[in-house]
């Protein structure tokens, strides 16, 4: 009989765990590299967003810079040549009426209406919850009348075309100076200021097809001046219709001072 050969004892490799361990360490290293890279990009974007939003809110007058501001300046050396994506996105995108888009709207209207602004027929400022476009009586209405001057229709047309793509509410507010009106059509400055506001609302609806639910009209007579009524220049500025483009967030917006011509005094502070 043949003798069975005894199998040689198999060699047991006690170092196979090193392969799995090396794979695990490699994957863990790659995981933390991805986390680090993502955190650096996100940090830069958060800084950009915070800077842009703070600038927009400050221009709207929502809050003033504090003495101990957090340094929100991004590290330009870490991202050389990179432009702010958020700043480029802040514009007049359709259907958006946040503070940043109102700032962009103000810049657009400032360029579009530069001739009228230089002639003091248009005023632009922030206050009372949004962007205020002041249609001065000098450029839009005859004294004591609520009918729009034919020569001002082109200016109103440009304003309406700029506002129509937005979906925010618009308040039309009439204002006068403190001199009582004397004509057979209007019994007081209340009537005149309200009639002018209603006329602009009517044009926005019938001529420019604004949704009526977005619009409101109010007359404030002489009780919301932006300049002193003690001078003729101040009274001229107070005779106006304000088109207020409302910001779409619940916040109290403090009035920002209007830019007044040299020699015109601001209205007295009512206590």
Mean pLDDT along residues 165-189: 93
Name residue 218's beta-bridge partners: 173
Least confident of 29-43, 59-73, 153-167, 240-254: 59-73
Q: What is the CATH number of domain 91-246?
A: 3.30.1330.60
SS (H, E, C) the chain: CCCCCCCCCCCCCCCCHHHHHHHHHHHHHHHHHHHHHHHHHHHHHHHHHHHHHHHHHHHHCCCCCCCCCCCCCCCCCCCCCCCCHHHHHCCCCCCCCCHHHHHHHHHHHHHHCHHHHHCCCEEEEEECCEEEEEEEHHHHECCCCCCECHHHHHHHHHHHHHHCCCCCCEEEEEECCCCCCCCCCCCCHHHHHHHHHHHHHHHHHHCCCCCHHHEEEEECCCCCCCCCCCCHHHHHHHCEEEEEEECCCCCCCCCCCCCCCCCCCCCCCCC
Average pLDDT, the chain: 77
Please give the residue that has the higher pLDDT: either 77 or 62: 62
> What pLDDT does residue 105 have?
92
> What pLDDT does residue 98 have?
61
Instruction: Tell me the per-residue pLDDT of 29-70, one tens digit each, with 9 for 90 and over.
Output: 888 887 777 665 555 666 666 666 666 666 555 554 444 444
Please give the residue that has the higher pLDDT: either 224 or 11: 224
> What pLDDT does residue 221 have?
96
- Of 207, 206, 205, 185, nearest in space to 141 by CA: 185
> What pLDDT does residue 49 have?
66
Report if pTM > 0.85. no
Ordered by start, the domain boundaries in the chain are 18-60, 91-246
Residue 83 predicted with pLDDT over 60:
no
């Amino acid at each position: 009989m043949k003798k069975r050969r005894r199998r040689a004892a198999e060699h047991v490799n006690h170092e196979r765990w090193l392969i799995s361990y090396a794979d695990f360490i490699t994957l863990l290293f790659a995981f933390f590299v991805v986390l680090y890279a993502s955190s650096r990009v996100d940090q830069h974007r958060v800084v950009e967003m915070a800077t842009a939003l703070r600038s927009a809110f400050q221009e709207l007058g929502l809050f003033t810079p504090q003495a101990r501001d957090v340094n929100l300046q991004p590290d330009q050396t870490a991202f050389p040549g990179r432009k702010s994506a958020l700043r480029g996105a802040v514009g007049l995108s359709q259907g958006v009426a946040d503070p940043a888009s109102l700032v962009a709207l103000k810049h657009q209207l400032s360029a579009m209406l530069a001739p009228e602004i230089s002639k003091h027929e248009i005023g632009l400022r922030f206050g009372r919850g949004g962007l205020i476009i002041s249609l001065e009586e000098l450029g839009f209405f005859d004294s004591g009348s609520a009918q729009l001057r034919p020569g001002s229709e082109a200016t109103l047309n440009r304003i309406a075309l700029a506002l129509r793509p937005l979906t925010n509410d618009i308040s039309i507010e009439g204002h006068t100076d403190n001199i009582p009106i004397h004509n057979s059509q209007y019994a007081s400055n209340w009537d005149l200021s309200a009639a002018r506001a209603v006329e602009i609302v009517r044009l926005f609806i019938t001529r420019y097809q604004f949704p009526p639910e977005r619009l409101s009209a109010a007359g404030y007579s002489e009780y919301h001046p932006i300049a002193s009524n003690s001078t003729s220049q101040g009274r001229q500025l107070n005779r106006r219709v304000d088109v207020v483009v409302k910001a779409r967030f619940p916040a109290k917006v403090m009035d920002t001072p209007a830019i007044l011509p040299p020699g015109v005094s601001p209205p007295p502070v009512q206590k």
